[in-house]
Amino acid sequence: MNSLLAISSLKLVLLALVALLAVVIWRYSATALAGEPDKLRFMRALALTLTATIFTLLSNHLLLFWLGWCWISLSLQQLLLFYPERPRAQLAAHKKALSARAGEILLAVAFILLYVEFGTADISSLISQASGQQASLSLVGHVATVLLVLVALIKCAQLPLHGWLIQVVEAPTPVSALLHAGIINLGGILLLIFSPLL
């Protein structure tokens, strides 16, 4: 029976990096938001975002990975709207939400295609099968890999999808730290995890 959560050497390294960033950003947030009346709300949203990131990294099932991916975006949305009365914060959060939903839809389609191609939703099994048959991927498999790359570009806020990233200055500074040191890099992490397909 396949496990819904799994750890590999790659995931151990990524988890160590996420844990280090989590500690640094958590401490920075606690200091930077000292005296902020809504600090507890921010820290809860930060904890949700970090937990979602760890959950996503540990996921060994396409559906769980996708749910974690969505969870990260939704909890990040709370951080971007920490100051909901600021119009530019609302605009940045709206643009990020549109970008995130597009990425989530493309990721869902990619995962469905991968399931069709390999007959499994277990990521370890899928990667194992892909390692031995890269040259013989069908059109469905190739479309899935192209979609994974597009999702990574969207998550990494690459041109021309970077507009929301410039406007996050309306959120508290720790949100920028979290984005630039962590969340923005999830696109690259996605490609690392699924690299045998590429």
The ranges assigned to domains in the chain are 9-197
Q: Which residues of the chain have pLDDT under 50?
A: none
* CA–CA dist 43, 24 (Å, integer): 13
Please check whether residue 60 is in contact with residue 3, taking contact to mean a CB–CB distance below 8 angstroms.
yes
The torsion of the CA quartet 150, 59, 13, 111, rounded to 10 degrees, works out to -20
pTM beyond 0.75: the answer is yes
pLDDT of amino acid 133: 67
For residue 24, give both structure tokens: 């640094």
